[in-house]
Structure 1
Amino acid sequence: METSRGRYAGLSAEERQRQRRRKLVEAAEEIIGEQGLAGLKVRALSAHAGLNDRYFYESYADTDQLLFEILDEQLAQVMAEFVALLATTPSDTRVRLRAVVEAGVTSVADNPLRRRLFIELQSLDELRRRRGEFVGLVAGIMLDQARELLGESAAEGIHAELAARTVSHGGVELLTEWLRGDLDIERGVLIDFLVAMILTSSEITTTVRREMAGSGDGSLN
């Protein structure tokens, strides 16, 4: 029942709008998880949320805006899970790394929404840009962890940064191919390889430095 103060069923207009927005987000997450981005249409989304189409546009300009909001929230949650796990695992490089890799693969593979988002991160320019930002954050965590766990023996400088980005890009791409079903391997095999790849990433830096020094002019050519 609406009152003179604009409240209905005990909720203000702003509270009702937030409630409708939450319904749209939840409906979009279900649709993406089940159908992929192709199923994210205003009419289907509104019907799934039990709302009239016009309520969609009170919160979003289009479905892309809603998609990017969901993606940013999910990627932020994944990063928060990484950080929380790093703070609670032993300061043993292999133990910590395996715990993080296993948790990361599970966090994406066993969540229908995240699984589909990772698979389709290359489908739009803006999604690719956000994917690149995520890779950069992962690379930054790798470098920070190397400094914390290895101290002065950790590789530093631009070569270390490039190696971290190379490994991060490769890891995300391998995970994506596996999620799509393009890699016919068991989850444990994927995790073992990712752990080994990251552990040996310091060798990339050493090899690059040696090759660049041997080139005589300090370039990669």
Structure 2
Amino acid sequence: MATDEAETVDVSRGRYAGLTADERRTQRRERLREVALEVIAEEGVAGLKVRALCARAGLNDRYFYETYSHTDRLLYELVDEQLAEVVAAVMGVIATAPADTRVRLRAVIEAGVTVIADHPARRRLAIDMQTTDELRRRRTELVDLVARVMLDQGRELLGDAAVTGVHAELAARTVAHGGLEILIEWLRDELDIDRAQLIDFLVAMILTAAEITTTVQREMAAG
């Protein structure tokens, strides 16, 4: 078990090594979060164990429990923050990309793949998103968000020509689910393709899905 850090005490000011108790607590919390991301990148979410995290962080086990009641609390906090960063990166590209459907679509997909694949902890979190019920719930929320963004972008870029209604929603969810699964297989090195090929395929898949949805809606209306 790791021992407590050496601390210089200034009793008159209630400070330790130049920091207040709250500052020290914040410092320990950030160290645990930093170490947790390292462990996730190396071992996956299954590697998050209190004793191992504290030993790696150079902290006594009791410091973990001053902030988190369980490693799951730490995990889900990190997952939410990493997902928020991925969404922010993608929305930033949407806000600045040209109003050309294919150009914007490729820019968005490239940004999404890059922000996940090039961050070791996010890469492993994406792979492990079905290992617990709570992670599966967050994965479903991500699919919901991706589908909504696709529908919103379709309306923005295509205007009245955009397909709407239940068929558009079903197509968006199908593409969101399928695209995420393909990305995860690629992250696991189960697909013998490079990044450019992956992005090309995802762009083509979404554009083709839009064409198919238009055809389905027209045929069902005619029937």
Match of 2:131 among 116, 119, 123: 123
Residue 165 of structure 2 aligns to which amino acid in structure 1?
G
In the other structure, the counterpart of 2:43 is 35
For the residue of structure 1 that corresponds to 2:131, the secondary structure is coil
Alignment of 1:96-107 (within 5 A): 96-107=104-115
Residue 118 of structure 2 aligns to which amino acid in structure 1?
D
In the other structure, the counterpart of 1:219 is none
Take 2:216 and 2:34, find their aligned partners in 1: how far apart are those partners?
47
Q: CA, structure 1 residues 125+211, in 2 after alignment: closer, same or farther (shift >3 Å)? A: farther
Match of 2:116 among 102, 108, 111: 108
Q: Are positions 1:194 and 2:198 aligned together?
A: no
With normalisation by structure 2, the TM-score equals: 0.91
In the TM superposition, what whole-angstrom CA distance separates every residue of 1:171-206 from its partner, at most 9, and x where no partner exists? 111000111122122221111010011112223323
In the other structure, the counterpart of 1:22 is 30
Alignment of 1:1-221 (within 5 A): 1-210=9-218, 212=220
Question: 205-214 vs 2-11, which deviates more?
Answer: 205-214
Q: CA, structure 1 residues 213+93, in 2 after alignment: closer, same or farther (shift >3 Å)? A: closer
The runs of at least 4 consecutive aligned structure 1 residues that moved more than 4 Å come to 210-214
For the residue of structure 1 that corresponds to 2:16, the secondary structure is coil
In the TM superposition, what whole-angstrom CA distance separates every residue of 1:87-126 from its partner, at most 9, and x where no partner exists? 1111111111111111111111111101100111111111
- Aligned identity (percent) is 68
In the TM superposition, what whole-angstrom CA distance separates every residue of 1:132-181 from its partner, at most 9, and x where no partner exists? 10111111111111111111111111221121111011111100011112
Take 1:7 and 1:212, find their aligned partners in 2: how far apart are those partners?
72
Q: CA, structure 1 residues 61+208, in 2 after alignment: closer, same or farther (shift >3 Å)? A: farther
Take 2:147 and 2:93, find their aligned partners in 1: how far apart are those partners?
16
Q: CA, structure 1 residues 213+90, in 2 after alignment: closer, same or farther (shift >3 Å)? A: closer
> RMSD of aligned C-alpha atoms?
1.5
How many residues are treated as equivalent by the alignment? 215
Residue 178 of structure 2 aligns to which amino acid in structure 1?
G
In the TM superposition, what whole-angstrom CA distance separates every residue of 1:3-50 from its partner, at most 9, and x where no partner exists? 334222332222211111100000000011011122211111011111
In the TM superposition, what whole-angstrom CA distance separates every residue of 1:31-70 from its partner, at most 9, and x where no partner exists? 1101112221111101111111000011111111111111
